[in-house]
């Protein structure tokens, strides 16, 4: 037999033998098939979660700023904040509200002295929807609050980095009825830590668009009754030194009051 014939014979036989071995090697048992089906179902579920999760109402706007992004950037840059204009229309989830008059937040007086020795702290109990303010071991204030329902309120230890007399809050989406446009939100105390950036816009602030305190009602901020937060704003550091300034920033010399947030927000 010639060399060429042997090569042809080898080429025609080899695929048959290889195909036979391949078929035997990758013919799964019933036990292996059940595992393959289980992994297939798990893979499909994971893909579905990754695709659907970002579009759920509680997560769709999880990373958007909770306050007006333009003014937030100015505050982060420590740029002057002009006195806002008086607006007359506010919207929260399709319901109209009337913003408070700017004149109501122009006159501030320090309450309970001007103690800035660093022993102040604010605690927010998500489980019971309560806020407590302490000077050392002495409780100064206790108020009902409304924390995150359409977005989580973060837990941990934070510091107030700036206080603003009033602030535009806007966000959400009209398509799922979570849109809000809330000008002149009074007595805003923005907080942050190494995990929660200033640009997220989390804060304690007054509330004029609902009166359901003691229950979750926010997109992540801590909602308070305006008369309550006014007292907290004047008590918390940094102190308001310039009566004409619309915002006051914390500094190394006058650090912001510590905020501790703990617990689990009720599902309501």
Q: What is the average pLDDT across 40-54? A: 58
Q: What is the average pLDDT across 106-123? A: 65
Q: Report the alpha-carbon distance of residue 95 to residue 49 in Å, rounded.
A: 32
What pLDDT digit, counting tens, does each position of 20-29 carry?
Answer: 454 455 577 7
The set of residues, in sequence order, having a beta carbon less than 8 Å from that of 8 and lying 6+ positions away, is: none
Confidence at residue 63, expressed as pLDDT on a 0 to 100 scale = 66
Per-residue CA distances from 151 to 16, 84, 221, 255 (Å): 62, 27, 9, 28
Q: Which two tokens stand for residue 90?
A: 């506010």
Q: Confidence class of residue 108 from pLDDT cuts 50, 70 and 90?
A: low
Q: Which two tokens stand for residue 41?
A: 């179902």
Q: Report the alpha-carbon distance of residue 156 to residue 38 in Å, rounded.
A: 39
The set of residues, in sequence order, having a beta carbon less than 8 Å from that of 267 and lying 6+ positions away, is: none
Q: Is the pLDDT of residue 57 over 70?
A: no
Q: Confidence class of residue 244 from pLDDT cuts 50, 70 and 90?
A: confident
Of the ranges 13-17, 43-47, 107-111, which one carries the lowest mean pLDDT score? 13-17
Looking at per-residue pLDDT, the higher value among 61 and 136 belongs to 136
Fold of 69-262: L,D-transpeptidase catalytic domain-like (2.40.440)
Burial of 261 (0-12, 13-18, 19+ CB in 10 A): buried
Mean pLDDT taken over the chain: 83
Q: Report the alpha-carbon distance of residue 105 to residue 82 in Å, rounded.
A: 14
Asked whether the beta carbons of 88 and 98 are under 8 A apart, the reply is yes
Confidence at residue 55, expressed as pLDDT on a 0 to 100 scale = 46
Q: Is the pLDDT of residue 58 over 50?
A: no
Asked whether the beta carbons of 235 and 134 are under 8 A apart, the reply is no
Half-sphere exposure of 204 (CA within 13 A, CB side): 36
What pLDDT digit, counting tens, does each position of 180-231 carry?
Answer: 999 999 999 999 999 999 999 999 999 999 999 999 999 999 999 999 999 9
Q: Report the alpha-carbon distance of residue 178 to residue 18 in Å, rounded.
A: 62
Helix, strand, coil: what percent of the chain each, to 5? 30, 30, 45
Q: Is the pLDDT of residue 48 over 70?
A: no
Q: Report the alpha-carbon distance of residue 176 to residue 22 in Å, rounded.
A: 54
Q: Report the alpha-carbon distance of residue 121 to residue 123 in Å, rounded.
A: 7
Looking at per-residue pLDDT, the higher value among 184 and 46 belongs to 184
Asked whether the beta carbons of 232 and 133 are under 8 A apart, the reply is yes
Q: Confidence class of residue 50 from pLDDT cuts 50, 70 and 90?
A: low
Q: What is the average pLDDT across 68-74? A: 91
Confidence at residue 184, expressed as pLDDT on a 0 to 100 scale = 95
Q: What is the average pLDDT across 75-83? A: 88
Q: What are phi and psi of 255, to 5 degrees?
A: -65, 155
Residues of the chain within CATH 2.40.440.10 domain(s) are 69-262
What pLDDT digit, counting tens, does each position of 83-95 carry?
Answer: 888 999 999 999 9
**Do you find a cis peptide bond into 92, omega within 30 degrees of 0?**
no
Between vectors from CA 149 to CA 179 and to CA 181, what angle results, nearest 5°? 25
């Amino acid at each position: 037999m010639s060399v060429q014939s042997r090569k042809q014979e080898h080429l025609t036989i080899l695929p048959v033998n290889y195909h036979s071995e391949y078929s035997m090697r990758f013919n799964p048992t019933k036990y292996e098939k059940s595992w393959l089906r289980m992994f297939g179902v798990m893979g499909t579920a994971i893909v579905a979660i990754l695709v659907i999760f970002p579009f759920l109402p509680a997560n769709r706007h999880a990373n958007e700023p909770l306050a007006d992004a333009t003014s937030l950037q100015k505050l982060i840059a420590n740029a002057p904040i002009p006195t806002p204009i008086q607006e007359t229309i506010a919207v929260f989830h399709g319901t109209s509200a009337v913003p408070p008059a700017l004149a109501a937040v122009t006159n501030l007086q320090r309450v309970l002295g001007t103690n800035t020795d660093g022993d102040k702290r604010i605690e927010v109990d998500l489980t019971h929807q309560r806020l407590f303010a302490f000077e050392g071991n002495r409780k100064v204030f206790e108020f009902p609050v409304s924390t995150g329902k359409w977005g989580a309120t973060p837990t941990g230890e934070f510091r107030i980095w700036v206080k603003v007399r009033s602030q535009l809050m806007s966000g959400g989406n009209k398509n799922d009825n979570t849109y809000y446009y809330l000008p002149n939100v009074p007595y805003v105390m923005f907080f942050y830590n190494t995990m929660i950036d200033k640009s997220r816009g989390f804060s304690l602030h007054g509330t004029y668009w609902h009166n359901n305190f003691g229950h979750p009602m926010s997109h992540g901020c801590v909602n308070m009754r305006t008369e309550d937060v006014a007292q907290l704003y004047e008590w918390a550091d940094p102190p308001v030194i310039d009566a004409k300034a619309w915002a006051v920033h914390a500094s190394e010399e006058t650090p912001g009051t510590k905020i501790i947030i703990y617990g689990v927000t009720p599902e309501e």
